[in-house]
Amino acid sequence: MKKSLVALAALAASAAFAQSSVTITGIMDANYQSLDYFGQKINQAGQSGARTTTFKFIGSEDLGGGQSANFQFEVQPSFMAGDGNASVLGGNTKAGTNASAVAVPNGSGLVGKGESFASFKDSAYGEVKVGTINTNVFKTFAAVSQMGTGVGSGYDTGGVIPNFTRLESAASYESPVINGFSGSVTKGFGVDQKFGTTTTTYDVRNTVVDYGLTYANGPLTARFANRNEQAFTTGVITTTRLLGGVYDAGVAKVSLATGNRKTDDTKNDASISIMAVSVPFMGSYRFIAQQGAVKYTKNASGNGIDGAKNKIVGWGFEKDLSKRTFVYLRSENATIGATDLTAVIVNGSALTKTDGNNKRTATAIGISHQF
């Protein structure tokens, strides 16, 4: 009898454990890069040329009745650099030769945090997440970008496409899908105070409300997102909107997006446009091309030029080696016409408005593996 009870308890424990799962997944992406940054040429080994190098730990527990408790912890390691490698790096320094914003692997190989949260999900009513949450504006960009956030996409690379990736200290609600429609709203909680001594220093966060609407039906996906950010110092509200769609016709996948950024004080207004295409051929090959632009429609803060445009054109070829691995060649050519470059240091000197060199190019050859 005792053995039977022990066996029954073990079986019950196994059944309960079987309802929970933890998965480790991610991407490793490495490449060789050749950069020309406003006249300064750099060759280096790099990463995340096609897809962001990342590790995700994903957990879920089935609570029954269509409900579940979930978590995701995402880290983005730099495997091109690491602490304790002074002998490899030579331990040498040279002032003023590295162009601003060019990622030269010479520091910590620790990780940055990606989207990480704990959540409760009900299949009938939706999901609530708390943590560091990707914004709906970013999700809209990701839906239309055929080049992801890598080389050629123009995303968050020196003033071409703005960075609006994720919100720390945030909570979100995502609705279930009803007739192809779903919605989401995310709140980023602002921080402008902290307990401490008179010498305490701390980071501050603006308050953000970000919401989106998605329609997906067959080959068509359309997304709209709106992001309102209130500056904690001035109270000025910046609104970013992005409307995009992607249509997969089989022979080609085409996507378009349009949007704008407006501020209450009209000091940093701009329009955003993106168009992209991906064409498969010869079974395992793909040609991809993308163009993105930000045009300042009104700027009085001194960091932009009214009526001018930052523009990027990217293209690439990819070849699948398996369902999870591909090799790639990517190239981008960016023209920074709308951003004041006097804050950029190249070869030890600041650029001037009359330098005439506002071009940035990059070429990457690499391999991307999903596990």
**pLDDT tens figures, 250-297:** 999 999 999 999 988 777 788 999 999 999 999 999 999 999 998 888
Residue 190 has pLDDT above 70, yes or no: yes
CA distance 11 to 210: 46
Go through the chain and tell me how many residues it has. 371
Residue 13 lies in a domain: no
Residue 122 has pLDDT above 60, yes or no: yes
Residue 97 has pLDDT above 50, yes or no: no
Mean pLDDT within 25-49: 92
Quick: pLDDT tens for 49-91.
999 999 999 999 999 999 999 999 999 988 876 554 443 444 4
Q: What is the pLDDT of residue 157?
A: 55
Quick: pLDDT tens for 38-49.
878 889 999 999
**Bridge partners, residue 187, by sequence:** 171, 209
Could you give the angle at the alpha carbon of 193 between the alpha carbons of 189 and 198, nearest 5°? 160
Residue 1 has pLDDT above 70, yes or no: no
Locate 340 and state its tokens: 């004041």
Q: What is the pLDDT of residue 307?
A: 74
Nearest to 247 by CA among 144, 121, 101: 144
DSSP 339: B
Helices (H) and strands (E) in the chain, counts: 3, 20
Is 106 or 115 the better-scoring residue by pLDDT? 115
Mean pLDDT within 198-227: 89
Helix H or strand E segment including 111: strand 111-113
DSSP 50: S
| Cα dihedral: 149, 152, 155, 157 (round 10) | 120
Residue 4 lies in a domain: no
**What is the share, in percent, of the chain residues with pLDDT greater than 70?**
74
Burial of residue 203, with CB atoms counted within 10 A of its CB: 0-12 exposed, 13-18 middle, 19 or more buried: exposed
Classify 4 in phi/psi space as left (phi over 0), alpha (psi -120 to 50) or beta.
Answer: alpha
Do 132 and 167 touch, CB atoms closer than 8 A? Answer: yes
3-state secondary structure 23-43: EEEEEEEEEEEEEEECCEEEE
If pLDDT is split at 50, 70 and 90, which confidence band does 9 have? very low
CA distance 120 to 13: 23
Quick: pLDDT tens for 139-163.
999 999 999 999 999 887 555 676 6
Residue 222 lies in a domain: yes
Residue 93 has pLDDT above 70, yes or no: no
Residue 154 lies in a domain: yes
Mean pLDDT within 354-362: 75
Residue 319 has pLDDT above 60, yes or no: yes
Phi and psi at 187, nearest 5°, equal -115, 120
How far is C-alpha 56 from the chain's CA centre?
A: 15
Helix H or strand E segment including 235: none
DSSP 158: S
Q: Give the chain's domain count.
A: 1
Residue 101 has pLDDT above 50, yes or no: no
Residue 23 lies in a domain: no
If pLDDT is split at 50, 70 and 90, which confidence band does 92 have? very low
If pLDDT is split at 50, 70 and 90, which confidence band does 172 have? very high
Residue 17 lies in a domain: no
Residue 24 lies in a domain: no
Q: Collapsing DSSP states into helix, strand and coil, what is residue 280?
A: strand
User: Other CB atoms closer than 10 Å to residue 196's CB: what's the count?
Assistant: 9
* Mean pLDDT over each residue of the chain, to the nearest integer: 83
- What is the domain-level CATH number for residue 157? 2.40.160.10
Domain enclosing residue 91, as ranges: 48-370
Rg, Å, the chain Cα set: 23
Could you give the angle at the alpha carbon of 147 between the alpha carbons of 144 and 150, nearest 5°? 125
- Write b or e for each residue in 124-152: b if 16 or more Cβ atoms lie within 10 A of its Cβ, otherwise e: eebbebebbbbbbbbbbbbbbbbbbbbbb
**What is the share, in percent, of the chain residues with pLDDT greater than 90?**
59
DSSP 155: B
Q: Which residues fall within 8 angstroms of residue 44, CB to CB, at 6 or more apart?
A: 32, 33, 35, 104, 105
Mean pLDDT within 299-320: 80
Residue 245 lies in a domain: yes
